[in-house]
Amino acid sequence: MSFRARVFGLVLLVAVIAVGATAWLTFKLATRQIDESQEKATQHVVDTADIVRSYARRHGTWAGVSFKVQELSEANHQRIRLVNLYGQVTVDSDHLAKRAARPVVSPPTLIDPRPTLTLPDNLDEQPWPQDLKAVQDVKVRGLTKAEAITLSGIRGFRQAQLLARCLTDRGIEPPAVTPDKFGIPVPAAATDTSDCAQTIKPELVDDEGGDVAAVEVCRSEKVPNPCLVRVFGERVSAFAPEPLQLFLGAVDDDPAKLVGGPMAVAAGSVLVLALAGTAMVARHVSRPVRSLTAASRRLADGHLDTRVPLVGGGELGQLSTSFNRMAQAIEASEQAQRRLVASVAHELRTPLSNLLGYLEALQDGVVPPSRELFASLHDEAQLQRRILDDLQDLTLAEAGHLTYRRVDFDLAELVETARVAHLAVAEATGVRLRAEVAGPLPFHGDHDRLRQLLGNLVTNALRYTDAGGSVILRAYVANGRPVLEVEDTGCGIATADLPFVFHRFWRADPARDRATGGSGLGLTIARQIARDHGGEISVASEVGVGSTFRVTL
């Protein structure tokens, strides 16, 4: 995958995870907060209903509930409205506060202050009611335990309600009530500072005939308990405050808002996640770059064998490949330079040693000075100069500094000039030298450098061809490109040696070739000149048959 795609993909991954995590956390927190607020709202309705219901049970009347409602409304900043089952408003906090009525937001909740009798299944284990009236009833009328509990409950409730109502009327807070195990509200014992207890008329509490008759009706029932529960409800309902409907209005609170703390924690977590992800991506992405930087430093410090591992096929992979190729090229160039210096030293040492040896011998009088000796020493010096000249040409050419003066000229003429120039040598060595050109061959290039190239090839051909052989120079066009060719019937070059003929200082037979005055650089220079003319040089050769050097320009 490409570097850019990788970075894009990784950053996208981090972004998707971060956004996903944020969305998920926000959703979770918002859902939880909504649930909590709904739970709170429901609980609030239940709590308000409980408070209002307990008021009625404690006071035995709705009278005075408006103070309680007002207090609750002010505490909760909410409208509280109580309506009876006939639609008549008992109390409305907004009316009390003389303000515009706020809308009602919750469905009505029924507040029924009437107690419900609970007759447990294990009645046998329950004690008989202990009040005197009940004991008497049981004895005289032969009541069952359930009937006795029901009657005792009815009377107890009436008594408590009448007392509470009386106390309320007199501005005294009645004692709190708690339901006993049968569900009948029982007031806590309180010191009665009024004469209410005395004013309660016994006939109001004990509607003997009616209550007993109602209870006895249940005897005809197969299962009397549900009937007793119903009778209890009917008998006490006249004494309990009427059921009301509770409506709650909108709360004046600040609008519900999301709690910031968990959100901040969530955002912080996502931020940390995103940071960690980004750091990982940065690490992952920068690792190959860091490895390349370290490798470049090592290379700069002279460790030319430094290479970097290939990372994928994208831009970084290409960069790694380029770096390795560059390092390889630098290493190869360094080695070539070392080899060149070694070769040059080697090439110059032999003729110099020869010169030195003869000069010392002459000095010591060991060798008599002669014309032939001086000619030989002159040749050695010439060879050194040629080596140095060729080396300079080659170095300039390879560095691209060899100057070329390009002109229009005829390649056919160039071939003829080269033939004429080498004719004397050819005749001297008994080699036939001819040229085969098919008419004028116009070309644009450096006339002198191409003449040098052709000269190198012809010199070699004549050098390696024995007397009786022949050398042919050709100039023609092949596939639309001008070609110069030098063919000889000389000793030829072994197939195994062919790949090396254009290498610097390479010679098939160093001893013999040095004797013939070759620098070992001629073909290398020829190839460079050909390349500088946008061409190439090739050779075909067979040992004992001859060689053909072809320059395609």
Tell me which residues touch ligand ADP (CB under 6 A): 456, 460-461, 464, 488, 490-491, 493, 501, 506-508, 513, 518-524, 547
Contact present, 157 and 184 (Cβ < 8 Å): yes
| Nearest residue (CB) to ligand ADP, 404 versus 506 | 506
Distance CA 112, CA 31 (A): 34
Count the alpha carbons within 13 Å of 515 in the hemisphere toward its beta carbon. 6
| Nearest residue (CB) to ligand ADP, 145 versus 514 | 514
Helix (H) or strand (E) holding 437: strand 432-437
Contact present, 161 and 186 (Cβ < 8 Å): no
Q: Report CA-CA distances (Å) from 107 to 50, 82, 93.
A: 16, 12, 17
The number of residues in the chain equals: 553
| Nearest residue (CB) to ligand ADP, 242 versus 513 | 513
Which phi-psi region, left, alpha or beta, contains residue 329 (left: φ > 0; alpha: ψ -120 to 50)? alpha
Tokens read off for 155:
């009377």
- Number of other residues whose CB lies within 10 A of the CB of residue 289: 13
Q: Token match 């300079």: residue?
A: 392
Contact present, 553 and 443 (Cβ < 8 Å): yes
Helix (H) or strand (E) holding 385: helix 371-398
Minimum Å gap between C-beta 521 and ligand ADP is 6
Distance CA 340, CA 505 (A): 9
Minimum Å gap between C-beta 461 and ligand ADP is 5
Identify residue 161 by its one-letter amino acid code: Q
Identify residue 57 by its one-letter amino acid code: R
Identify residue 223 by its one-letter amino acid code: V
| Nearest residue (CB) to ligand ADP, 108 versus 510 | 510
Minimum Å gap between C-beta 402 and ligand ADP is 17
| Nearest residue (CB) to ligand ADP, 116 versus 516 | 516
| Nearest residue (CB) to ligand ADP, 241 versus 490 | 490
- Number of other residues whose CB lies within 10 A of the CB of residue 238: 10
- Number of other residues whose CB lies within 10 A of the CB of residue 396: 13
Distance CA 384, CA 544 (A): 31
Question: For residue 445, what are the β-bridge partners?
Answer: 407
Minimum Å gap between C-beta 305 and ligand ADP is 31
Tokens read off for 129:
């009611």
| Nearest residue (CB) to ligand ADP, 73 versus 547 | 547
Minimum Å gap between C-beta 418 and ligand ADP is 14
Q: Token match 């940065």: residue?
A: 282
- Could you tell me what percentage of the chain is helix, strand and coil, using 3-state DSSP and rounding each to the nearest 5? 60, 15, 30
Minimum Å gap between C-beta 403 and ligand ADP is 22
Minimum Å gap between C-beta 546 and ligand ADP is 7
Minimum Å gap between C-beta 386 and ligand ADP is 8
Minimum Å gap between C-beta 458 and ligand ADP is 9
Minimum Å gap between C-beta 427 and ligand ADP is 18
Distance CA 49, CA 438 (A): 124
Minimum Å gap between C-beta 483 and ligand ADP is 17
| Nearest residue (CB) to ligand ADP, 292 versus 508 | 508
| Nearest residue (CB) to ligand ADP, 102 versus 503 | 503
Distance CA 493, CA 463 (A): 13
Which residue lies nearest ligand ADP, judged by its C-beta? 518
| Nearest residue (CB) to ligand ADP, 376 versus 452 | 452
| Nearest residue (CB) to ligand ADP, 172 versus 435 | 435
| Nearest residue (CB) to ligand ADP, 25 versus 498 | 498
Residue/partner pairs of 287-295 with CB below 8 Å, 24 or more apart: 288/316, 288/320, 289/316, 292/319, 292/320, 292/323, 295/323, 295/327
Minimum Å gap between C-beta 463 and ligand ADP is 6
